[in-house]
Chain A
């Protein structure tokens, strides 16, 4: 549905987006990650046709956003960053306005408005003007606008920004459900959101894609994915560390806590993490360790995120992680 080919955007001497390419199919939810100023919003603005790309092309359902913008824009629902809406309008007036601009009229418009009002829980504020709404409601009003024409493509710039945990949960549920039938791109800072909602994630840094894969794929790139951690009730950490160091599968070990003793062992490259876990389990039985916990680290997205997007401080953050 969404096909992005070598998109590039420069603002004067500054390169905001540098050769971004990806595709999103129907039924996919693509999470767009990256530090502030990495070019997420700029990329989304180019895909939605708000700003023209300096180079490259984006097509929506086969329509180029540059050459055939109106046909392409018809297929897109867009929630811009900060969820702008006309402050002087009522929620109902605003939704009617956007529905009309989408070419909905009469009964079709009414049913479309009713549908999004129900989906976004806006019944109570329909007659209120947008400027009197709380941030959560304002956000949902703009979100409602983006899905009013039931678009095939949905582009959401930080859709859960400024919402409370319950609202976040609702919006995520909505995105996941709509993701079954639509092609969705959404950007976020919240990494757990990516795991909860996305079928694929892209990490973008300084205008370029630095990682592209399923959340599970990305987590495996975490510096301590596959490490095995044990926690024991009353042994000394140093002793446990010594025993683990002696195993030939183990590359290195790190003491996480002294009491209760918690030690993490990293496998050598050639061994799978499961093998190490089994071996550590055998060792625990043999040594009659009073095990409180033994688990394999899956890796965490935030670590991957940090290690990929902060190359300068990579060493420092790696140290922090292994502390």
Chain B
């Protein structure tokens, strides 16, 4: 019925010539990120998680953390809970990233498109990271509160936000990797919670101090702790952005996403 139009559009109009190589790399990534984002907000799940995150972070900051009692114009009591909140929240955001594609079979569609698998991996990751970023932006009332009550160092707060965003990215990349291993979102959620918990506890002072008590070679504890997110988050929540910490979080992200691509490839290879 419309074969005439069919022949006129026979040559797929690939990007215009002026779009360089970087545009060719980025355009599928953005397309996928856009789709994932709309996927997050097509169901109420993302809204529910963001609301729960905001409520929980408010509860821990003000009720458990004693924000008012401390009488200090800092957001330390706010940021200090983030590794624990992300444990649940980020795992929930990322759990379906690949498992759902595998369960629904859409992975076959996605990976037979003329794109490289890493573009899909990065696109999906960026979409999830954006949702988390949005949740962090929506915590602005805390920032307003502390500015209203006192004179905090906003540079420190900004650095802490950046650091916590990186921490969330590291957690999300780990969840993405786990998600590629299974068809079940629930399994992906549980395993990534456990793995993230391990990465917290390996450097959590109550645990490391206990381990130091019996350790014959304390440097082993130190070495293990240096892999923990806590070791690198400690200074960040005080607003210190050390390049070593930045490198740590970025390398966790790169490593996990690379491993995701290996898993995706291995799964296809059978």
A interface residues (Cβ-Cβ under 8 A, vs B): 9-12, 45, 48-52, 70-71, 73-74, 76, 78, 80-82, 84-89, 93, 97-98, 100-105, 108, 111-112, 114-115, 118-119, 129, 142, 145, 149-150, 177
A49 to B112, Cβ gap below 8 A?
A: yes
CB of B5 closer than 8 Å to a CB of A: yes
CB of B39 closer than 8 Å to a CB of A: yes
Q: Which residues of A contact B114 (CB under 8 A)?
A: 70-71, 73-74, 101-103
Instruction: Tell me whether A89 and B31 are in contact in the complex, defined as CB-CB below 8 angstroms, given that A73-B112, A103-B12, A115-B2 are known contacts.
Output: no
B13 to A108, Cβ gap below 8 A?
A: yes
B1 to A118, Cβ gap below 8 A?
A: yes
A102 to B113, Cβ gap below 8 A?
A: yes
B112 to A93, Cβ gap below 8 A?
A: no
Q: Which residues of B contact A10 (CB under 8 A)?
A: 270
User: Chain A: which residue is nearest B30 at the CB level?
Assistant: A100
Q: Which residues of B contact A82 (CB under 8 A)?
A: 105
A103 to B268, Cβ gap below 8 A?
A: no
Q: How far is the CB of A313 from chain B (nearest CB, A)?
A: 30
Q: Which residues of B contact A98 (CB under 8 A)?
A: 109, 113
Q: Which residues of B contact A85 (CB under 8 A)?
A: 106, 109
B5 to A80, Cβ gap below 8 A?
A: no
Docked pose: A100 CA to B105 CA in angstroms: 20
B113 to A119, Cβ gap below 8 A?
A: no
B31 to A100, Cβ gap below 8 A?
A: yes
Docked pose: A269 CA to B47 CA in angstroms: 76
| 27 residue pairs from A and B, CB less than 8 Å apart | A10-B270, A50-B108, A50-B111, A50-B268, A51-B268, A78-B109, A84-B104, A84-B105, A84-B108, A86-B39, A86-B106, A88-B43, A98-B113, A101-B114, A102-B12, A103-B15, A103-B27, A104-B13, A108-B9, A108-B13, A111-B9, A115-B2, A115-B5, A118-B2, A145-B109, A150-B9, A177-B3
Once A and B bind, how many residue pairs between them come within 8 Å at the CB atom? 108
CB of B14 closer than 8 Å to a CB of A: yes
CB of B42 closer than 8 Å to a CB of A: yes
Q: Which residues of A contact B104 (CB under 8 A)?
A: 84, 86-87
A80 to B105, Cβ gap below 8 A?
A: yes
Docked pose: A11 CA to B1 CA in angstroms: 43
CB-contact partner of B15 in A86, A105, A129, under 8 A? A105
Which residues of chain B (1-39) have a CB below 8 Å from chain A?
1-3, 5-7, 9-10, 12-15, 27-28, 31-32, 35, 38-39
Docked pose: A145 CA to B108 CA in angstroms: 13
Besides A108-B13, A150-B6, 8 new A-B residue pairs in contact (Cβ under 8 A), listed by A number: A50-B268, A51-B268, A89-B35, A98-B109, A101-B32, A103-B27, A104-B13, A114-B5
Interface range on chain B (Cβ under 8 Å from partner): 35 or more
User: Chain A: which residue is nearest B105 at the CB level?
Assistant: A84
Q: How far is the CB of A294 from chain B (nearest CB, A)?
A: 43
**Per-residue CB proximity of B109-125 to A under 8 Å, as 1/0?**
10111111000000000
Q: Is the interface of B mostly helix, strand, loop or mixed?
A: helix
* For the complex of A and B, 6 pairs with smallest distance between CB atoms: A84-B105, A108-B13, A88-B42, A73-B114, A103-B14, A11-B270
CB of B269 closer than 8 Å to a CB of A: yes
Q: How far is the CB of B86 from chain A (nearest CB, A)?
A: 24
Q: Which residues of A contact B112 (CB under 8 A)?
A: 48-50, 73, 76, 78, 80
B106 to A84, Cβ gap below 8 A?
A: yes
Q: How far is the CB of A131 from chain B (nearest CB, A)?
A: 10
Q: Which residues of A contact B270 (CB under 8 A)?
A: 9-12, 51
Docked pose: A86 CA to B35 CA in angstroms: 10
User: Chain A: which residue is nearest B16 at the CB level?
Assistant: A105
Instruction: Tell me whether A149 and B12 are in contact in the complex, defined as CB-CB below 8 angstroms, given that A111-B5, A119-B2 are known contacts.
Output: yes
B113 to A101, Cβ gap below 8 A?
A: yes
Q: How far is the CB of B38 from chain A (nearest CB, A)?
A: 7
Docked pose: A186 CA to B196 CA in angstroms: 46
B12 to A101, Cβ gap below 8 A?
A: no
B269 to A52, Cβ gap below 8 A?
A: yes
User: Chain A: which residue is nearest B10 at the CB level?
Assistant: A150
CB-contact partner of A115 in B6, B32, B111, under 8 A? B6
Docked pose: A214 CA to B5 CA in angstroms: 31
User: Chain B: which residue is nearest A177 at the CB level?
Assistant: B3
B31 to A119, Cβ gap below 8 A?
A: no
Q: How far is the CB of A116 from chain B (nearest CB, A)?
A: 9
Docked pose: A320 CA to B13 CA in angstroms: 56
B268 to A112, Cβ gap below 8 A?
A: no
Q: How far is the CB of B5 from chain A (nearest CB, A)?
A: 5
Q: Which residues of B contact A142 (CB under 8 A)?
A: 109
Instruction: Tell me whether A89 and B6 are in contact in the complex, defined as CB-CB below 8 angstroms, given that A84-B109, A101-B115, A119-B1 are known contacts.
Output: no
Q: Which residues of A contact B106 (CB under 8 A)?
A: 84-86
Q: Which of B2, B3, B28, B35 has the most CB of A within 10 A?
A: B35
